[in-house]
Amino acid sequence: MRIVPAVDIRGGLCVNLVQGDYDRETVFSDDPVSQAIQWRDLGGEIIHIVDLDGAKAGHCCVEKQLQAIAHAGVPFEVGGGIRDIDTVRQIISYGASRVIFGTAAHRNPDFVRVAAQEFPGKIVAGIDAKDGNVALSGWYEATQTDAVSFAQEMERMGAARIIFTDIGSDGMMSGPNLESTQAVARAVGIPVTASGGISSLDDIHNLVAIEPDGVDEAIVGRALYLNAFTLPEAIAVATGSRERT
């Protein structure tokens, strides 16, 4: 399993939100570019960049940071505010390995198909779920769309991967929602990245247990910033190179 460190950017700062609430924000660094480089240097194979301002504004707000991260040779994926194909082209031109569609994928599934045809293997569907249903626009908008059914639709549209986030777990340091993550992974034939709630090495062990279902990555944010464990420790557990303690 691959551990993917998260760098959430808001107002030019590296931050973390609790359950997507912009009023429950912690600032961890004033230099998200340096933070991304640090995670790469500690073993991160790809960095998960979230444009929190873009998620609300509906357009990319982190162009300068993405260019600087790419210039430093750091592999990254990015989501937040991606609403049109020109933005996808722009972000990929910066060197993004993957582009994550959230709200736009729900409102216009055909957008995923068009982008996936132009950039095969690079388009990811980010599915944020609350009580089993998809939530949109930085989690401010609830829907009645079942997350599992939507994951299947995204696969049909050509998404190369699903990033599944359980909103109830995100930022709470209480462990990921294994049942929901597993349900999504079992319903699709593309790989799934688990996101939200990872707070301990035991949580990573538990995710490794559902890796055979198709969960091959785990995004970790707050736990790393709070020093619950180090990135090398997480990678060692995820890759099975260290016995459980």
Please check the confidence at residue 231 and state whether its pLDDT lies above 70. Answer: yes
Residue of 18 and 140 predicted with greater confidence: 18
**Segments making up each domain of the chain, as ranges:** 2-238
**To the nearest whole number, what is the mean pLDDT of the chain?**
90
DSSP element (H, E) containing 110: helix 109-118
Establish whether 202 is a catalytic residue: no
Rounded to whole angstroms, the Cα distance separating 238 from 222 reads: 17
21 is catalytic: no
Reported confidence tier of residue 171, pLDDT bands at 50, 70, 90: very low
Q: Which among 8, 51, 170, 216 is annotated as catalytic? A: 8
Which one, of 43, 4, 1, 6, lies nearest residue 225 by Cα? 6
**Residues in a beta bridge with 78:** 49, 99
Instruction: Please determine, for residue 169, whether its predicted confidence score (pLDDT) is greater than 70.
Output: no
Q: What is the pLDDT of residues 45-55, one digit of tens each?
A: 999 999 999 88
| 3-state per-residue secondary structure call for 164-227 | EEECCCCCCCCCCCHHHHHHHHHHCCCCEEEECCCCCHHHHHHHHHCHHHCEEEEEECHHHHCC
Q: Which pLDDT value is given to residue 243?
A: 46
Which residue has tokens 């557990």?
237
Q: What is the C-alpha R_g of the chain?
A: 16
DSSP state of 213: G
Task: Report which DSSP code applies to 225.
Answer: H
Q: How many residues does the chain have?
A: 245
Active-site annotation holder among 51, 53, 128, 170: 128
Residue 244, pLDDT score = 40
| Annotation: CATH topology of 2-238 | TIM Barrel (3.20.20)
The answer to whether residue 137 scores a pLDDT higher than 90 is: no
Global confidence as pTM: 0.91
